[in-house]
Amino acid sequence: MSTIEQNKVGLNYIELEGGLLLELLEGVSTHAGKDKSLPTLNAVAIEGGGGLFTARATDRYRLIEGGARTLDGQLDAALVSLDDIKRIITLVKGHTSNLIGLNRIGDALIVSSLGDSVTVSLLSGTFPPTEELLSKSEGEPSAVEGVAFNPAFFTDYAKIAGKKAAIKVYFNGDGKPMRIRITSDTIKWRALLMPMRYAD
């Protein structure tokens, strides 16, 4: 039995539909930081288990997390550079109707389908803790008089949700992140947008 076959039945292999993986990685990568001097932000954090594959990214102004259903398997948390996520997206675009396998072996991630594969080296840094931020924003919305935000960020939400889909914004109070609700039949999205300081 090869190393890859051994890992398929072990703890570091997961499979999901190519179309789901493409939608998830394209959506999440819009929120990854563009500054390569901050490698843990110029990246996408991924993990899988319990029938769910999760990817998240942040550029310090926005935070997004998406979850898609998977087949059986487990994939330990990993941090993949944005450049390598783009390589994975290129592979997945040719296999949207197929199953995609993600196989972690040490500090490498092998993404494969029907004999095509990409191997990437995982980053050693730690992705910022985000669960508390996301959970705190899920309470009751608060009324605010006004809020300033970068309108260019909403073009990314339109790419994720689709041109005809609604995007709902919940305000959590002055100076607090806005919760963005993106509706999808296939992926469960959670997103936050930080307000900007605005000088009158």
The 10s digit of each residue's pLDDT in 124-134 is 988 988 888 78
Q: Please report where in the chains the tokens 């997004």 appear, as a residue.
A: 64
Residue 72 tokens, joined: 């059986």
102 within some domain: yes
Check whether residue 109 and residue 172 sit in a common domain: no
Residues of the domain holding 82: 3-121
Q: Is residue 56 part of a domain?
A: yes
Residues 61 and 136 reside in one and the same domain: no
Judge whether 198 lies within some domain.
Answer: no
Q: pLDDT-based confidence at 11, cuts 50/70/90?
A: confident
pTM passes above 0.85:
yes
Q: Are residues 88 and 140 in the same domain?
A: no
What does the alpha-carbon distance between residue 83 and residue 96 come to, in Å, rounded to a whole number? 20
The number of folded domains in the chain is 2
**What pLDDT does residue 176 have?**
82
Do 183 and 110 belong together in one domain? no
Residue 55 lies in a domain: yes
Residue 126 lies in a domain: no
Q: What is the pLDDT of residue 158?
A: 84
pLDDT at 6: 42
Q: Report whether pLDDT(91) > 70.
A: yes
For residue 200, is it within any domain? Answer: no
In a domain, 26, yes or no: yes
Which tens digit of pLDDT belongs to each residue from 49-76?
999 999 999 999 999 999 999 877 999 9
Do 113 and 135 sit in the same domain of this protein?
no
Of 96, 121, 146, the one marking the end of a domain is 121
Pair 94, 149 in one domain: no
In a domain, 177, yes or no: yes
Note whether 52 and 138 are same-domain residues. Answer: no
The CATH code of the domain that includes 8 is: 3.10.150.10
The average confidence (pLDDT) of the chain is: 88
DSSP string across 132-181: HHHHHTTS-----S-----TTHHHHHHHHH-TTS-EEEE--STTSPEEEE
Last residue of a domain, one of 73, 103, 121: 121
